Structure 1
């Protein structure tokens, strides 16, 4: 995990990951819909940029970021935006719950969605799936349907 650069924590909740990243030395932007959760995070790490936003409206934070983290929040419509927010060589960390229901992923979903990246770790457990991947240094790792210019 890098100790410098910019990081984005998507659906950050109370900000445990955002605070951890900030304490490692990254400049962190954290996004969540809950003002109560964001206030709790802000009390722990005022240096983090806390953004209140409904992710149903898209990803509000402007990249690029060296690290993008999304833990236990699933919206496949945001998957391309998560990749697009990364710098070439940037690290993506995603964890989702597996199972039945609209907010849970099918086994293999993360690998299918992010397999065009350099996958460093992927695991489908009984109840959770996780993926760590790096955006390639070339434009070949751009997300399908990406609007970014090559090399960005």
Structure 2
């Protein structure tokens, strides 16, 4: 993203504070699918609520966001919940691609969409790794440049084993696992 995007997102996050650690609502019914150990990556982590939830569960978490304001809040949330030692947050421009790192047991991406990153996301998952992704969708909403077309997530991650998925009311989401072999 251009520097202007970081400034714009900083403005959206300024004056707000992080809520309690939690998964995005769409994934709450599937919380038992999330592992209790391993490395996790949260893309566009915002205030880090899901990252801290994953760390409390036992994972080591790398949370990235374009907003320095959001990252500062995420670091504070991790500290307040005693999981700073399992969370690393950084200001990252995902237009430059995924940050380097080890294969991930979990990749979580909520309300961030960049189809050019889909192959790298799938490749970054460890064998047996879990992908939890939700994006704005054209299904049940107006079309727009930031909205996924019908079937976009299913098609992009066809090589993964789908555990649950949905499209409607302007949202598309997928919970899927990379095969072990």
Normalising by structure 2, report the TM-score.
0.74
User: Which one of 94, 99, 104 corresponds to residue 55 of structure 1?
Assistant: 94
Partner of 1:90: 129
Checking the alignment, whether the CA contact within 8 Å between 1:29 and 1:61 is kept in structure 2 is no
Q: Where does 1:106-145 land on structure 2 (aligned, <5 Å)? A: 106-138=149-181
Which has the larger Rg? 2
> Which digits, 9 at most, give the CA deviation of each residue in 1:71-101, with x for residues without a partner?
0000000001111111111000000011211
> Which digits, 9 at most, give the CA deviation of each residue in 1:48-87, with x for residues without a partner?
1012111001001412110000100000000011111111
Checking the alignment, whether the CA contact within 8 Å between 1:18 and 1:28 is kept in structure 2 is yes
Q: Where does 1:1-152 land on structure 2 (aligned, <5 Å)? A: 1-45=34-78, 46-47=84-85, 48-99=87-138, 100-138=143-181
Runs of 4+ in 1 over 2 A off after TM superposition: none
User: Distance in 1 between the 2:180 and 2:144 partners?
Assistant: 36
User: Distance in 1 between the 2:75 and 2:44 partners?
Assistant: 14
Stretches of structure 1 that go unaligned for 5 or more consecutive residues are 139-152
User: Distance in 1 between the 2:166 and 2:112 partners?
Assistant: 16
Q: Which has the higher helix share?
A: 2
Stretches of structure 2 that go unaligned for 5 or more consecutive residues are 1-33, 79-83
Structural RMSD (CA): 0.9
Normalising by structure 1, report the TM-score.
0.88
Give the superposition deviation at 1:125. Answer: 1.4
